[in-house]
Amino acid sequence: MSLYIGREASKLWKRFCAEITAEIKLLAENWKYLLGGLLCQYIHGLAARGVHYFHRPGPVLQDVGFFLLHELGQDKAYISETVFTFIFLSFFLWTFHPFILKSKKIYTVLIWCRVLAFLVASQFLRIITFYSTQLPGPNYHCREGSKLATLPRPDSILEFLVINFPRGVLYGCGDLIFSSHMIFSLVFVRTYQKYGTRRLIKQFAWLCVVAQSFLIVASRKHYTVDVVVAWYTVNLVIFFVDKKLPELADRSGSATFLLPLTKDNIKTKDENHKLLNGNSRDLVGPEV
């Protein structure tokens, strides 16, 4: 029994080391894209903080979701955040599964390059929309009478550049159309829909996103329009951006590649498949 466990542990360690080697090579070639994507996340955070300075509390706008959905109340606002955290952490851990699981379809570095591209494009549109028109926030801390509804002018540029986490993220106002939580959730679920392998998990993931949509409105964190616009905008962004990006290498086949496929290496890929499968007459010689 101990011999079997030791043998499996040795295989797992070799698999982990091999994956580290492959990912480091990819990271060396794609670090600029990852760094640029992370920098854009910071810029998006600064933009959301900046619009908070312009936010002015006012009467909550009429909203069909507010009439149809029971208000959860301020003490139950954590429910929607819990669902979002579950979606975020589940996807984050899934992107690192190639390091430990034998069956794998993606490379971690390449999948995050793709995810960040979707996030950046969606967040760029989001920044334009919430700076175009500032709506009175429906969240409890954004309403009239709350001290957090407006931000005092910063004393220095450093105070503006430093994002207070998690307070600055959870208690923002003014960045409404469209929902940032829905951007992340839809990008994650759409990515798993394409590259994931478990059908049941895909169905459960979509169910979680739908539930989160209702919970966001029921918690009065966003208007219904913020969620609706996110649903069609993010899906359209992913559809068009995905067409412009090179397709990821499929690791589930017999021939694997460390880099995304391009027009230059499609022919090489086909030849390798024929060689490995032994179904090319040119490679095995003419029939007698």
The residue annotated as part of the active site, out of 222, 264, 270, 273, is 222
Return the closest-CA partner of residue 245 out of 87, 30, 88: 30
Work out the number of other CB atoms within 10 angstroms of the CB of residue 133: 9
The residue annotated as part of the active site, out of 181, 250, 264, 273, is 181
CA distance 87 to 91: 6
Take residue 101 and report the two structure tokens written for it: 């699981």
The residue annotated as part of the active site, out of 44, 226, 250, 282, is 226
What is the DSSP secondary-structure string of the chain? -HHHHHHHHHHHHHHHHHHHHHHHHHHHHHHHHHHHHHHHHHHHHHHHHHHHHH----PPPP-HHHHHSPP--GGGTHHHHHHHHHHHHHHHHHTTGGGT-SS----HHHHHHHHHHHHHHHHHHHHHHHHH-PPPP-SGGGSTT-TTSS-PPPSSHHHHHS--TTHHHHT--S--SS-HHHHHHHHHHHHHHHH---HHHHHHHHHHHHHHHHHHHHTTSS-HHHHHHHHHHHHHHHHHHHHHSPPPP-TTSSS--SS---TTTHHHHHHHHHHHHT--HHHH----
282 included as an active-site residue:
no
Residues 206, 189: contact at Cβ < 8 Å? yes
Could you give the residue numbers annotated as active site?
181, 222, 226
